[in-house]
Amino acid sequence: MKGDIGVIGLAVMGQNLILNMNDHGYKVVAHNRTAEKVDEFLQGPAKGTNIVGAYSLQELVDKLESPRKIMLMVRAGDVVDSFIDKLVPLLDKGDIIIDGGNTNFPDTNRRVAALKEKGIHFIGSGVSGGEEGARFGPSIMPGGSPEAWPFVKPIFQAISAKTENNEPCCDWVGNDGAGHFVKMVHNGIEYGDMQLITEAYQFMKDGLGMTHDEMQSVFIEWNKTELNSYLVEITSDILGYKDTDGEPLVEKILDTAGQKGTGKWTGINALDMGIPLTLITESVFARCLSSLKDQRVEAEELFGKKESIVEGDKQVWIEALRQALLASKIISYAQGFMLMREASNENGWDLNYGNVALMWRGGCIIRSAFLSNIRDAYDIDSELSFLGSDSYFKGILENSMSAWRKVAAKSMEVGIPMPSMTSALTFLDGYTTARLPANLLQAQRDYFGAHTYERVDKPKGEFFHTNWTGKGGDVSSTTYNS
């Protein structure tokens, strides 16, 4: 009997996805560049299963049922191109290559188009959930050649995480690089969620002087509220984790955050598309700032930074912080969905935002109860332009406003950096202001560069230039927006 699917790449994600597919009754053929890893896998975790090995790409291809489905779980970038180049001459028209790595979506756009010319279908799929997700149910976000989806759908939906209603956290996202785009936004939101939690932690630790056990209890309690999520849950575990000397391990970890690029890509795309994705972008910059450790140590001394003590009733502050965190999180997701909406419109992807929320509901790092409410919001209005306008989320934003402002103001007053919580509030203040000071900005642009402006008392699209000093000419610059 031939294999149902081939997987190339036997590192943590590949191995666990294969075992997951095997659990669901699929016969998987496993291949890896370094052949010894095939043997190690077959004699180790795959022992006693139906998984078979292939020591060359030809062997892999020969062992698969038609149309062949070959999933790459390898390092993103050139390695994927190199495998595609080697596979294509061995494949037949109608065969399917799937890239399940963390690929930047323009690469997927390019690969879908290039392979289409050769008659090969290509799927670029986000896979989220790390090792445990891959093994027992990840969130899977496939996009690319729609013709390929019916062949891959049963396998992907079988191995994916399921919601409490047993719905698979996997559905077709859209054409071209849509799946990888949505996975990129997922990762950006993950950056935002993590940053928001760290800001709450710093406020409690430095501002309120709380112990790690106290903070752990707060996160345990928060996890029983609308903030219920995987990241809040693991944060409570981390805060309670003691090193061998009985002290909290988290305080022994160097405060410089790493990043692999997906948050940065999300920010770059937001800038390219002109979407104010402020919270996620601040979260990426917060990681950049954290990496300037030596400079920060010097600057703290140079500026003689004082302790940032927050006076007042601790319980009142903790509840205010919870509300500020929840409201900021709503803004982060609202901005992320704005970005997806713009990308969907620009690329003709026809994204289903409710389905995206459902795919993130289980298996992935940002899984949370909150995503069910997002799905509900898009069920009510599939074209919702701002998540915060949905009545459920609007209610939370309004109810949290006072506490959110108090936390933001206090953080500024005592010097606790909270870039994401404060930028979220600033965004909402801007978004809910009908008249912003951009009129003055337009006047400045016209003053120094004759960039022209529109008038509130004239139809939109009519542009004016003023000779502000009486010395300039009347020739205006060309009017366009980049």
Residues that bind ligand NBP (CB under 6 A): 9-14, 32-34, 37, 73-76, 79, 101-102, 127-128, 130
Provide, rounded to whole angstroms, the least separation between the CB of residue 120 and ligand NBP: 19
Cβ-defined contacts of 268-273 (< 8 Å, 24+):
269/181, 269/184, 269/339, 269/343, 270/335, 270/339, 273/339, 273/342, 273/343, 273/346
Strands 121-128 and 139-144: antiparallel
| 40 tagged catalytic | no
Provide, rounded to whole angstroms, the least separation between the CB of residue 222 and ligand NBP: 25
CB-nearer residue toward ligand NBP: 84 or 331: 84
Residue with the closest Cβ to ligand NBP?
A: 101
Identify the active-site residue in 190, 199, 226, 282: 190
Q: End-to-end CA distance of the chain: give it in Å, rounded.
A: 56
What is the H or E stretch that residue 187 is in? Answer: helix 178-202
Single-letter amino acid, residue 308: S
CB-nearer residue toward ligand NBP: 96 or 325: 96
Token pair for 126: 């986000």
Provide, rounded to whole angstroms, the least separation between the CB of residue 141 and ligand NBP: 11
CB neighbour burial string for 109-133, b if at least 16 within 10 angstroms, e if fewer: bebbeebeeeebbbbbbbbbbeeeb
| 183 tagged catalytic | yes
CB-nearer residue toward ligand NBP: 10 or 28: 10
Provide, rounded to whole angstroms, the least separation between the CB of residue 19 and ligand NBP: 13
Identify the active-site residue in 183, 205, 264, 410: 183
CB-nearer residue toward ligand NBP: 3 or 14: 14
Provide, rounded to whole angstroms, the least separation between the CB of residue 58 and ligand NBP: 16
What is the H or E stretch that residue 150 is in? Answer: helix 149-159
Token pair for 118: 């050769």
Token pair for 44: 């180790």
CB-nearer residue toward ligand NBP: 10 or 70: 10
Catalytic residues: 183, 190
